[in-house]
Structure 1
């Protein structure tokens, strides 16, 4: 999903204020960068009073996390290429592309720098739990094809793929490419193998 598509995502009637504020946050991130997001600017764009934003989100940081996590949930789709290596490579490649957008980069930098609080911790934990749940069918298909052992640690497998991408993006400031995505997928698959016969096929 592109940044523009994320902005057009519709919401229910009960979520109109949240959606308007989220759109304002995303517009500001895309146009000005995450550092320029402030509640007065979001209030102006959304047509929502400052007091309503503070009452619902409390702080600028909570608002940023909520808006950016919500947008990212719809930005990384689960591939189905017919093989685990293909699926993981495609997912890693999509993550690399997303981190190179204003929204993806803003989310990564916000989560890395934001002070921990009960609200942000809860939002972050809920997001990652949801992402893992979304990716489980990809792993289930791999188990059914005999590419993974039934007792595979799915979270560890996903972390082995995505952690180096975030490391390069945030810390070493390198620009990962899709060749790296393929290498990470192959390395992660080998790392979680427990059956020598399965490992020999990957």
Structure 2
């Protein structure tokens, strides 16, 4: 009898484990995150999980990265107005999803002084900002924004109000929140607030 796994089983198991990890993290927080519970949620043996992710922080990092990539797509609509609005709305939707709740659980556990998580969340956000930079670059090429616009600062200005309301004032965020953040960021960019020094 062949021991080769059926085609597609590997990716399906991986997806199930990452989904289970996101849900475990969102419900239990970082300190109480338990790999055995993840395996149970995914319907696999714990050795299957440990074989792929010997360290639990590696599992957490993969699960969060997968969630961000899948649920916050980088738009390319041909207009900076709709690109920024789409990016902001995707972020708002994601923050309410299991993946977003998992990230919040990590961030809140850190601010509460419980077991300190690794720098995976900040790394994931920095990487997503980097992946969003072409949105601004394309807008500059189309003449929609000043030529020397600092793409990273513009993207940070877009997401900052959303994270502030979610993490600091603990308000509900909606599509209106996203649209307002997009308008503010775009207004600042068009006014030249995010321009790089000319000698850079």
The TM-score with structure 1 as length reference comes to 0.70
| Structure richer in helix, relative to its length | 1
Other structure's SS at 1:86 match: helix
Moved more, 61-70 or 154-163: 61-70
Question: Which consecutive residues of structure 2, in runs of 5 or more, have no partner in the other structure?
Answer: 1-6, 194-200
Over 3 Å counting, the alpha-carbon distance change for 1:47 and 1:12 in structure 2 is closer
Other structure's SS at 1:176 match: coil
Deviations 1:32-85, CA, capped at 9 Å, x for gaps: x2436422212434312399379721x5x5543432222222211122233212
Over 3 Å counting, the alpha-carbon distance change for 1:82 and 1:11 in structure 2 is same
Question: Which consecutive residues of structure 1, in runs of 5 or more, have no partner in the other structure?
Answer: 1-9, 197-202
Moved more, 156-165 or 45-54: 45-54
* Alignment partner, residue 185 of structure 1: 182
Over 3 Å counting, the alpha-carbon distance change for 1:195 and 1:50 in structure 2 is closer
Other structure's SS at 2:46 match: coil
Q: In the aligned structure 1, how far is the partner of 2:176 from the partner of 2:17?
A: 38
Over 3 Å counting, the alpha-carbon distance change for 1:105 and 1:83 in structure 2 is same
Q: May I ask how many residue pairs the two structures share in their alignment?
A: 179
Deviation at 1:89, TM superposition (A): 1.0
Matches within 5 A, 1:1-202: 21-28=17-24, 33-35=27-29, 37-44=33-40, 45-49=43-47, 52=50, 56-57=54-55, 59=56, 63-114=59-110, 120-121=118-119, 123-124=120-121, 126-193=123-190
Q: CA RMSD in A?
A: 3.4
